[in-house]
Amino acid sequence: DIQMTQSPSSLSASVGDRVTITCRASQSISSYLNWYQQKPGKAPKLLIYAASSLQTGVPSRFSGSGSGTDFTLTISSLQPEDFATYYCQLSYRTPRVFTFGPGTKVDIK
Amino acid sequence: EMQLVESGGGLVQPGRSLRLSCAASGFTFDDYAMHWVRQAPGKGLEWVSGISWNSGTIGYADSLKGRFTISRDNAKNSLYLQMNSLRAEDTALYYCAKDRHIAVAGDFDYWGQGTLVTVSS
């Protein structure tokens, strides 16, 4: 099975900070990697698909990069509404494996 | 406006069954694959099952060991999850999620608000 890890598991940051979250797969997954944001009591929201494509309606301060085993979600200038938990997710289609990472909680410093 | 509304959750005893439903509106339901994703209280996200637009392709998480069955009725714009032999570890908020694709691709671009399933005696 392909395992997904994220680092850090949590971080504290200030409004305006540049924030980087890393996701690593236990084997190469090409660019089959998505990023989601989840706020408390709310459903997750797709931010980035295929490692680096910005979902429609998502602010451009969010960006994704990487391929193979190492991926990064970057928030260029953290806004108050960005405090949330972020999950990476494998979207490998053959076989169908849609494992989520354990999440990274971003809170206020 | 796109909407996914889950229903059917509740308190159920271990070993019993439950059927979840998801009513879709605001998009062409049979143009997209659909999924169930769950989240245990205070825990992360776990993909449960997905179904292609015409039910021709279905997938399940290995951990379910054949206890759950996904289905859809395109005429009713509805997605279902039949859950049998429920266990305490199935306690979770169950989300209905739309795929970006017609096939089961695992890109969950829209989610409902979830229905809570609690398995307890």
Task: Report the run of H or E that residue A12 belongs to, with start and end.
Answer: strand A10-13
- pLDDT at res. A97: 76
3-class DSSP state of B84: coil
HEC string of B13-58? CCCCCEEEEEEEECCCHHHCCEEEEEECCCCCEEEEEEECCCCCCE
**Contact flag A36-B108 (C-beta cutoff 8 Å):** yes
Tens of pLDDT along chain A (109 residues) come to: 889 999 999 999 999 999 999 999 999 999 999 999 999 999 999 999 999 999 999 999 999 999 999 999 999 999 999 999 999 999 977 667 799 999 999 998 8
Is B108 exposed, middle or buried, given 0-12, 13-18 or 19+ CB atoms closer than 10 A? buried
Q: How far apart, in whole angstroms, are the C-alpha atoms of residue B14 and residue B34?
A: 27
Q: Do B106 and A87 touch (CB under 8 A)?
A: no
DSSP A17-58: --EEEEEEESS--TT-EEEEEE-TTS--EEEEETTTEEPTT-
CA distance A73 to chain B (A): 16
Reading phi first (left if > 0) and then psi (alpha if -120 to 50, else beta), residue A60 is in alpha
> Comparing B115 with B103, which gets the higher pLDDT?
B115
How far is the alpha carbon of A63 from chain B, nearest alpha carbon, in Å? Answer: 16
* A90 interface with B at CB cutoff 8 Å: yes
Q: Which of A49, A96, A100 sits opposite B44 (nearest CB)?
A: A100
* Cα of A101 vs its chain's centroid, Å: 9
C-alpha distances in angstroms, B2 versus A87, B23, B45, B65? Answer: 23, 11, 22, 33
Asked if the model's pLDDT at residue B51 lies above 90, the reply is: yes
Do B106 and A98 make contact, defined as CB atoms within 8 angstroms? yes
Only one residue has tokens 């795929």, namely: B99
- The model's pLDDT over B68-82, given as tens digits with 9 standing for 90+, comes to 999 999 999 999 999
**CB–CB of B106 and A34 under 8 A?**
yes
Q: Do B108 and A99 touch (CB under 8 A)?
A: no
Instruction: Tell me the mean pLDDT in the region B103-119.
Output: 96
pLDDT on residue B114: 98
B48 CA: distance to closest CA in chain A (Å): 9
Report the residue of chain A nearest B105, measured CA to CA.
A93
In chain A, the residue whose alpha carbon lies closest to the alpha carbon of B103 is A93
Radius of gyration for chain A, computed over Cα atoms and rounded to the nearest angstrom? 13
pLDDT at B109: 97
CA atoms of B44 and B50, how far apart (whole Å): 18
Interface of B with A in 62-91 (CB under 8 A): 62
What are the structure tokens assigned to B14, written together? Answer: 């271990």
Residue B6 contacts residue B21 (beta carbons within 8 Å): yes
**Least CB-CB distance to A102: which of B44, B103, B106?**
B44
